[in-house]
Amino acid sequence: MIEFCQLWTLQTKERRLNMRPNILFIMSDDHASKAISAYGHGLNQTPNLDRIAQGGMRMDHCYVTNSICTPSRAAILTGTYNHVNGVTTLDTHIDNRWPNVAKHLRQSGYQTAMVGKWHLGEGKPHEPTGFDYWSVLPGQGEYFDPVMIEMGKERTESGYATDIITDKSLDWLNNRDYDRPFFLMCHHKAPHRNFEPHPRDRDMFNKKDIKVPNTYNDDYKNRARAAEAARMRVRIDTKYSDLGLVQPEGGAEVGELCFEGSTERRIPHPEDPRGLVLIDRHTGENFTFETQEQLAHFKYQRYMKRYLATIHAIDENVGRMLDWLDEEGLAENTIVIYTSDQGFFLGDHGWFDKRFMYEESLQMPFLIRYPKRIKSGSICKDIATNVDFAPTFLDYAEVPVPNYMQGTSMRQVLEGQTPDDWQSDAYHRYWMHRDEHHNAWAHYGLRTDRYKLIFWYNSGLGQAGAHTPDEPPEWELFDCHADPLELLNVAEDLNYNKVFIDMLKRLDLKMAGIGDIPEHNSDAVVAARNF
């Protein structure tokens, strides 16, 4: 009997190893690559995320095609750019009748599940489709005791969202059909603003100051006007809730309203802050300040420590999932991916949030482990984007990539066999002109290995969630090798004439190739500049 059981166990294990690979896709929200220790910036320690990089690959040039939550998720799910899938802003929702990667995998025999942040709309026209099981947060969701919509029915879950999303993911994995491969999208809400660390992590950075970025006091000279116009500065645009502080009763004297109709106010930043008292909403501790710089330092440290503490729970829960794979004997035949829906400014250029095509916002972290095919500890410098994710999943699952998908499978790149004709640029477009929270202006552009060209067309074009007024257009060109911090716009520098023209041609070719309509006229641009 014992011999039979041993034989059955061995046969079962062999079946699992010979099965098409399982795919575990873990995505957080607004997790900057700088806040993952595998990327080497030293802000924090993420040992479990590092396990993925150590056992597989770290990608350094994975870029988002629209640096904002909802459009990025649509691009990942469909393998298409936002002008094709129709999800251009936070106020546009996915049409769930459209094909997506989960539908293709499910039709080919995979079990599919979506757990966590969906953010592509609620209700029958927008709820997840293509998944055998789904349990998602409505909208942004809450950190504590969140409401979740499970297969169309709302229920309140007790606990912390990061733990709950992991629990639900593991429950589904434990109750699946073991004779079929799985595709699980585990989407964390964290660390999206307003950051709310678990109480167990709340004080973990109290004894350590976080290094302030070199560009924290950026004056935005030599850049497009959009940079200075953005309402995303840690110094002057953070809310009381951003920093876990009590918002006092009162009107304009306690802070500027974030936008018309809001009840939340920005923390004042007076030239003389000696009369300002800020109160911790958990402990009641009072904070006072002698100088404006002291106040600015406090805001940055408070902001970053809450952000990094929120990330700590993600790392722990990723560790739980990796441990489960090990215990089940599935690690060898499971593709594990960790990414975020876009990058995030961590005080870089003085900013929080994302939206812009500047590097900290454009770059997505991307870690992948698949022991059968991907060399452990490898680093990839090739360019990829989030529209490439869906074709990659399908390629590894031995499912033909449908011709409507605009991305390209990264499989050869991930396995160290980059094709000679692999893409050499990444396209980005932000549509939500002058959004009421951040006043980020509309733009599109192209990133190559060395250069970045941005056209600030600065118009809402009637998009949902975009606002007026329009602004005069501007061009930016950055030499990312000579100027990695993107402090000097060389679009008007005569020494970069040839580069500008080449990048403009490449941008035109890219937009034509993906079917996006330009807001610029290249002939007129060249003629006006006398190139």
| Spatial separation of the C-alpha atoms in residues 499 and 479, rounded to whole Å | 9
Helix (H) or strand (E) holding 154: strand 153-156
Confirm whether 2-197+310-417 and 428-529 share one CATH topology. Answer: no
User: Which CATH number is 2-197+310-417 given?
Assistant: 3.40.720.10
DSSP 438-461: T-PPPEEEEEESSEEEEEE----T
CA 335 distance to own-chain centroid? 20
CB 344 within 8 A of CB 330: no
Q: Which residues of the chain have pLDDT under 70?
A: 1-18, 531
CATH domain 428-529 topology: Arylsulfatase, C-terminal domain (3.30.1120)
Q: Where does residue 441 rank: exposed (0-12), middle (13-18), buried (19+ CB within 10 A)?
A: buried
Helix, strand, coil shares of the chain, percent, nearest 5, are 35, 20, 50
The secondary structure of 472-488, three-state, reads CCEEEEEECCCCCCCCC
Q: Which residues contact 494 (CB under 8 A, 6 or more apart)?
A: none
Give counts: helices (H), strands (E), the chain: 14, 18
Domain spans in the chain, listed from the N-terminal domain onward: 2-197+310-417, 428-529
pLDDT at 3: 54
pLDDT at 14: 47
pLDDT at 500: 97
161-174 vs 292-328: helix crossing angle, rounded to 10? 10
